[in-house]
Amino acid sequence: MLGFLLVVLLIPYLIAAYGLLFVKLRWGLRLFGAFIVATIGLLTAMFLVEAYPIIARDGVAVFFQTRWDPVRESYGVLQALTGTVLTSAVAMALAMPMAIGVAVTINEILPARLRGIFGSLVDLTATMPTVIFGLWGLFVLGPFLKDAVNSVSRYLVGDDVMTSPYTLFTAGVLLAIMITPYAAAVIREGYALVPKPVEEAIYAVGATRFEAAFIKLRYVRNYILGGFFLALGRAMGETVAVAMVVGGNFSRFTTNILESGITISSLIALIFESGITISSLIALQFPNAASYQYMVPALFAGALLLTLFGLAINAVAIYIIQRGQI
Amino acid sequence: MAPQMFSWSKTFHRVTGGKIQVNYQSIGSGAGAAQFLEKKLDFGASDVPMPRDKYQQAAGRFVQFPVIIGSIVLVYNLPEIAYSKTGMYLNLTSEVISLIYMGEIKQWCDPRIKALNPGLADKLPCKDIVAVHRSDGSGTTAAFTLYLTRAYQPWNQTVGWGYTVNWPADEKAKGTGAKGNEGVSQAVLQTPYSIGYVEFAYWAKNKDKYDRVGGVAFIRNDNDGMYYFPTAENVAMGAAAGLERYTRKYGAKPAPDADWNPVSIEFTNPPRGYPILSFVYVFLWKDYAAEGYGDAATKAALLKEFFKWVLTEGQKQDNVVEGYIPLPSEVAKIGLEALNHIKP
């Protein structure tokens, strides 16, 4: 399988590189483009092949079940998908305002000679190993969030909502901190590219600094959208750090939804419970998966679901951009 | 098991004058067994014996034997009755532990917990129990759930045992997970009213921290009805008693090339001593040349030398990492005999 993939991927790569360098630049570039699409296609195909045994046994039920019971060889990845969606949602909701704030601060507010330093520092946080973030989440962020959320919830609803420091919410907040630099980098680039005449025109009509920033952000909304999807991809795919703080409760989803149905309040309650995401499920369960007959296929089914989900989100993004022409 | 294997490999490298280097990587028990059978590794080590279906693939061609004892302790965070305040630790039984992880006992003031702890009964708070378990697949979970399976029948019917199980407390009560022994250890320290199971070594390292927020539980051995504290002596007593029970039941000591699943079952919940035991098992091929290893003669000789050292010198207190328990001599003998099966 691996050898096959290597041959299939390496040969087109070499042909494309040859075309690019020695034949005609345009053809080479097209080949590279086709090569990337083929890679994604092949990867999806590989997931499908690897996941086939469990799909053959359970049908599509594996995507709609929430049980994870290796003892009875019964697997489902729906609760993990829910976890991925919820943690990503929390992360994006917190990260986008932060990223825009960082971009505007660097380009507008900081003195010119500090911009470079501050910008590099923000970029540097993006290169930090994720396990460092995970450890920080385990020892500092989790316990802190638990105290903070509970002191607010005691005031609002009179009870603790977060019993454990390691929940989907903790993972979401940690992800927000991890992905902000990615979104910020893209937005900052766009922001710096606003043409001088446009900027002068904004100030010429008497805009305040705040209004100017607001207009410029609307001018670079394509970059904001780009940053959003780049960061979303990171949030959905992050494994190590999330695995350390997400809790790892494989069946909470069932209880909450069965008890109260899919409502806003049951989803919010779910966020403050420990859970699991697809990527962290794979990271946590893969090392011993070979001891079970169907666990490896089930984990590949999870990977397949995540890939298809990611493709669907990107398709929606492309559709929005093309239709809106923003 | 990783810290002990690393330490042995390092010490052995030193005592052989830097001539022999044993590389050990911690890749997970399941992967260790699988990659050993695929011959990607020269030897394998695991918290559980070779699983039955895998054993059958290679039955008679390899040996397995224990090299060190680990133990699993139950740590809890109960500020009201912390050891530092009361000078007492909780008493627990396999039944109560099972019911907590099954989500049937939901609060610390449950009469079934009070009944075991008359001295602490009036101080136990009516707070929900947060049952912490491993979120990654692990040999620790396998040994812990095997104990509950053996000691409490309803656990066997509803949950069973393995690297990962479906914890009923996750659905019915406030169950939560954490990654690795470090994760569970940290989660219990950080979560009031929680309980968790960790390898003995992880409790030994953080003993003072646990005493401040809670402590470690005495576990009742259901066979002799006594409560045992997880000390090295009590754990070793359990191991010796387990071997005795196996020998009595099957009429002979376990053979190194036999299926060791029945052996690990006899070691679990032994007639006396601390009841939650786990062994680190090592897998070696009988005939490295026939299995297609290159340079087989040297490889076999080196592995024999290393494990002979592990089973003799390696069991001395100086060479055992804190938190692990040396094998009783009759258990170590099984391994030494196994080494004779390996073709030079």
B125 Cβ under 8 Å from any chain A Cβ: no
Pairing of strands B218-220, B91-92: parallel
Contact B171 A255 (CB under 8 A): yes
- Taking the CA of residue A173 as centre, how many other CA atoms within 13 Å lie in the half-sphere pointing to its CB? 20
Helical spans, DSSP H, in chain B: 2-15, 29-37, 52-57, 83-86, 94-101, 111-116, 139-151, 153-158, 168-172, 180-190, 200-205, 207-213, 232-250, 261-267, 296-311, 329-340
| Integer Cα distance of A76 and B243 in angstroms | 40
Which residue of B lies nearest to A241 if distances are taken between CA atoms?
B179
Say if residue A137 is exposed, middle or buried (CB neighbours under 10 Å; 0-12, 13-18, 19+).
Answer: buried
How close A148 comes to chain B (CA, Å)?
A: 14
| Integer Cα distance of B257 and A219 in angstroms | 73
| Integer Cα distance of B238 and B244 in angstroms | 10
Pairing of strands A68-69, B218-220: unpaired
Which residue of B lies nearest to A282 if distances are taken between CA atoms?
B136
- Taking the CA of residue A9 as centre, how many other CA atoms within 13 Å lie in the half-sphere pointing to its CB? 15
Percent of chain A with pLDDT over 90: 33
User: Of B107, B66, B78, which Cα lies nearest the Cα of B284?
Assistant: B66
pLDDT digit string (tens) for B127-156?
Answer: 999 999 999 988 889 999 999 999 999 999
User: Of B252, B298, B336, which Cα lies nearest the Cα of B63?
Assistant: B336
Pairing of strands B62-77, B214-216: antiparallel
Q: Which among B31, B128, B183 has CB closest to A288?
A: B31
User: Of A158, A163, A148, which Cα lies nearest the Cα of A272?
Assistant: A163
A291 Cβ under 8 Å from any chain B Cβ: yes
Taking contacts as CB-CB distances below 8 angstroms, the residues of chain B near A72 are 160, 166
Taking contacts as CB-CB distances below 8 angstroms, the residues of chain A near B162 are 70-71, 291-292
Contact A165 B187 (CB under 8 A): yes
pLDDT of A254 higher than 70: no
pLDDT of B238 higher than 80: yes
Strand partners of residue B92: B219
Strands of the B218-220 sheet, one edge to the other: B91-92, B218-220, B227-228
pLDDT of B58 higher than 90: no
pLDDT of B70 higher than 90: no
Select the residue from A249, A279, A288 to test the B interface by mutation, using most B Cβ atoms within 10 A: A288
Query: Could you report the predicted ipTM of this complex, rounded to two decimals?
Result: 0.82
Taking contacts as CB-CB distances below 8 angstroms, the residues of chain B near A292 are 162
Whole-model pTM? 0.87
How close A182 comes to chain B (CA, Å)?
A: 27
Q: Which of residues 42-71 of A touch B (CB under 8 A)?
A: 67-71
A250 Cβ under 8 Å from any chain B Cβ: yes
Give residue A305's pLDDT band: very low, low, confident or very high (50, 70, 90). Answer: very high
Taking contacts as CB-CB distances below 8 angstroms, the residues of chain A near B138 are 288
- Tell me the Ramachandran region of residue A325: left when phi exceeds 0, alpha when psi lies from -120 to 50, beta otherwise: left
* Region A101-123 average pLDDT: 88
Which residue of A lies nearest to B181 if distances are taken between CA atoms?
A244
Taking contacts as CB-CB distances below 8 angstroms, the residues of chain A near B156 are none
Contact B176 A247 (CB under 8 A): yes
Pairing of strands B227-228, B44-46: unpaired
Q: Which among A72, A244, A249 has CB closest to B170?
A: A249
Percent of chain B with pLDDT over 90: 43
A242 Cβ under 8 Å from any chain B Cβ: no
Cβ(B136)–Cβ(A287) under 8 Å? yes
pLDDT digit string (tens) for A167-219?
Answer: 999 999 999 999 999 999 999 988 888 888 988 999 899 888 889 989 999 88
Contact B186 A70 (CB under 8 A): no
pLDDT digit string (tens) for A27-57?
Answer: 777 777 888 888 888 889 999 999 999 999 9
Contact B136 A285 (CB under 8 A): yes
Amino acid A2: pLDDT: 64
* Region B14-40 average pLDDT: 82
Taking contacts as CB-CB distances below 8 angstroms, the residues of chain B near A68 are 164, 166
Contact A164 B162 (CB under 8 A): no
Q: What does the block give as tokens for B143? A: 């040994």
Contact B160 A290 (CB under 8 A): no
Q: Which of residues 1-30 of B touch A (CB under 8 A)?
A: 27-30
pLDDT digit string (tens) for A84-95?
Answer: 999 999 999 999
User: Of B182, B133, B183, B191, which Cα lies nearest the Cα of B162?
Assistant: B133
Q: Which among A70, A252, A273 has CB closest to B164?
A: A70
- Report the largest interatomic distance among the alpha carbons of chain B, rounded to a whole angstrom: 67
Give me the count of residues in chain A.
326
How close B3 comes to chain A (CA, Å)?
A: 18
A76-323 belongs to which CATH class?
mainly alpha
Phi, then psi, of A230 in degrees rounded to 5: -60, -45
Taking contacts as CB-CB distances below 8 angstroms, the residues of chain A near B36 are none
| Integer Cα distance of B216 and B327 in angstroms | 23
| Integer Cα distance of B126 and B307 in angstroms | 51
Q: Which among A248, A252, A292 has CB closest to B178?
A: A248
pLDDT digit string (tens) for B291-334?
Answer: 888 888 888 888 999 999 999 988 988 888 888 888 888 888 98
pLDDT of A326 higher than 80: no
| Integer Cα distance of B12 and B304 in angstroms | 13
**Coil, strand or helix at B239:** helix
> Can you give the residue ranges of every domain in chain A?
2-61, 76-323
Amino acid A262: pLDDT: 65
How close B289 comes to chain A (CA, Å)?
A: 26
Contact B174 A143 (CB under 8 A): no
Sequential DSSP letters for B274-325:
-S-EEEEEEEEES-TTTTT-TTHHHHHHHHHHHHHHHHTGGGSGGGSPTT-B
pLDDT digit string (tens) for B259-284?
Answer: 888 888 888 889 999 999 888 899 99
A136 Cβ under 8 Å from any chain B Cβ: no
How close B138 comes to chain A (CA, Å)?
A: 7
